[in-house]
Amino acid sequence: MNKGEKHRAPRSIAIYVHIPFCLHKCGYCDFNSYALDTLLEKDHAGQDWAASYTDVVIQEIAGRCANLSLSGRPVESVFFGGGTPSLFPVEETARILDTIRRSFTPSASTEITLEANPGASDVERFAALREAGFNRLSIGVQSFDDETLRRLDRIHTGDDARAAFRSARQAGFSNVSLDLMFGIPFQSPEQAKTDIESALVLAPEHLSAYELTIEPGTHFGALHSRGELAGLPNEETALAMWEMRDRLLSEAGYERYEISNFARPGYCCRHNLNYWKRGEYLGIGAGAHSLIGDRRFWNHARPDVYAKEAKDPAAGEENITNKRKALGESLMLGLRLREGVSLREVSERCGTDPEEKYGELFFNLEKKGLLERSNGNIRLTHRGTLLANRILAEFL
């Protein structure tokens, strides 16, 4: 193969599939998800809701491949998120994954993840998913403390979470991630520490441990706006939880490779790394977002509207040829990573010099001890990571 052929080789993409159904909508959740019993009563009475949704997803895949010339593209990762994808019948999940395999070009090493909730997890289900081709599970534990889970409106228990992890192992999964949350109303630092320690006993390959964010449009958001959401930690307590998290996980051999994500060597989530490095991704399903070339587009959020527009369900799109906007996004996303950002690579990719627009901001952040430079790279310091949300907002 000559250099010209190498240059023309198609870039790999990541594929996200959104399964918007769940058993119960949690009070803090701002994801595009719908409680299944309510949905069935309103829109799918007497229908095979899962097969119908799968049919629409398959139509969308065919339409995107044709309209965007994506057929045969190499695939770095596939991620089924939600909602609760583990609630979806395995045969329908497998049908979607088989369509992706036929439409694109995954390899033997492609990372294929499915999100699972402890309330919809068992050995038989996980074994069938493993047989279908999934090689990674991400289990939404949030906490192992039953009272804390009740405050989050979760419908599983700590024992359910432990059982789900054991089921994953019994089904043959050797790459399992656990999601934990801290900064929960009335959660003490000791309780947050116990959650981390409980997760470490299970020894997953990957851990996501993030602070609760109060989002507008959620039940928690409504309570907070009315001053009725009590028990949130103050900034000092929240920062102490961040530092405790980093210390415990580092001592246990996990590397923090992104603000809220930790992994054993070789187990960083490739799907999320693609997002943070601003790679191309195709989002399939109700409410899913995509970034292909210079186009960002997103699907209709409601499953019924999405179904009516199956071949091209985009609800809107944005052309992002603006170099300065692409630059700000690249810096904002890349600075989430512990390794930081290569200014040269960002300049080449975005076609503009980061120093021209953000040089003064870089200088001020360095002066405050929040940013550091090394060999043409910039990254957040430890203190900068603790204040990341404020800092990264300045690049948008």
- Residue 113's CATH number: 3.20.20.70
What pLDDT does residue 167 have? Answer: 97
Task: Kindly report the pTM of this predicted structure.
Answer: 0.93
Domain-terminating residue out of 215, 250, 276? 276
List the one residue out of 234, 194, 192 whose CA is nearest residue 210.
192
- Kindly report the backbone phi and psi dihedral angles of residue 96, in degrees, each rounded to the nearest multiple of 5, phi listed first: -65, -45
Peptide bond into 82 cis (omega under 30): no
The alpha carbon of residue 30 and the mean position of all alpha carbons in its chain are separated, in whole angstroms, by 13
- For tokens 């210390």, the residue is 247
Shared domain for 253 and 168, answered yes or no, is yes
Whether 181 is covered by a domain: the verdict is yes
End-to-end C-alpha distance for the chain, whole angstroms? 41
Shared domain for 28 and 148, answered yes or no, is yes
Query: Could you give the number of structural domains in the chain?
Result: 2
Shared domain for 150 and 50, answered yes or no, is yes
* Cβ pair 255, 262 in contact under 8 A: yes
Q: Render the burial of 155-167: b for 16+ CB within 10 Å, e for the rest.
A: bbbbebbbbbbeb
Whether 265 is covered by a domain: the verdict is yes
Whether 310 is covered by a domain: the verdict is no
Give, in order, the Cα–Cα distances in Å from 214 to each of 77, 220, 225: 29, 6, 10
Whether 291 is covered by a domain: the verdict is no
Q: Is 232 exposed, middle or buried (0-12, 13-18, 19+ CB in 10 A)?
A: middle
The pair of three-digit structure tokens given for residue 241, joined into one six-digit string: 């939880």
Domain-terminating residue out of 244, 276, 308? 276
Whether 3 is covered by a domain: the verdict is no
* Cβ pair 17, 80 in contact under 8 A: yes
List the one residue out of 52, 100, 64, 62 whose CA is nearest residue 80.
100
Query: Rounded to 5 degrees, what angle do the CA atoms 84, 230, 83 make?
Result: 5
Domain-terminating residue out of 276, 291, 308? 276
* Cβ pair 75, 14 in contact under 8 A: yes
Shared domain for 195 and 335, answered yes or no, is no
Shared domain for 251 and 334, answered yes or no, is no
Whether 285 is covered by a domain: the verdict is no
Shared domain for 238 and 162, answered yes or no, is yes
158-170 vs 123-132: helix crossing angle, rounded to 10: 40
Shared domain for 246 and 165, answered yes or no, is yes
The alpha carbon of residue 231 and the mean position of all alpha carbons in its chain are separated, in whole angstroms, by 27
What pLDDT does residue 163 have? Answer: 96
pLDDT digits (tens, 9 = 90+) for 99-156: 999 999 999 999 999 999 998 889 999 999 999 999 999 999 999 999 999 999 999 9
* Cβ pair 395, 328 in contact under 8 A: yes
Shared domain for 268 and 378, answered yes or no, is no
> Reduced to 3 states, what is the DSSP secondary structure of residue 17?
strand
Q: Which helix (H) or strand (E) holds 241?
A: helix 235-251
Shared domain for 27 and 142, answered yes or no, is yes
Whether 282 is covered by a domain: the verdict is no
Shared domain for 327 and 266, answered yes or no, is no
What pLDDT does residue 5 have? Answer: 45
Shared domain for 180 and 242, answered yes or no, is yes
List the one residue out of 321, 274, 300, 290 whose CA is nearest residue 65.
290
What pLDDT does residue 353 have? Answer: 92
Shared domain for 96 and 189, answered yes or no, is yes
The domain containing residue 72 runs over which residues? Answer: 12-276
Torsion of the alpha carbons at 15, 20, 26 and 31, rounded to the nearest 10: 50
Residue spans of the chain under pLDDT 70: 1-9, 38-47
| Cα four-point dihedral sign 364, 369, 374, 380 | negative
* Cβ pair 323, 346 in contact under 8 A: no
- Check residue 97 and give left, alpha or beta (phi > 0: left; psi -120 to 50: alpha): alpha
The pair of three-digit structure tokens given for residue 70, joined into one six-digit string: 């994506």
Whether 229 is covered by a domain: the verdict is yes
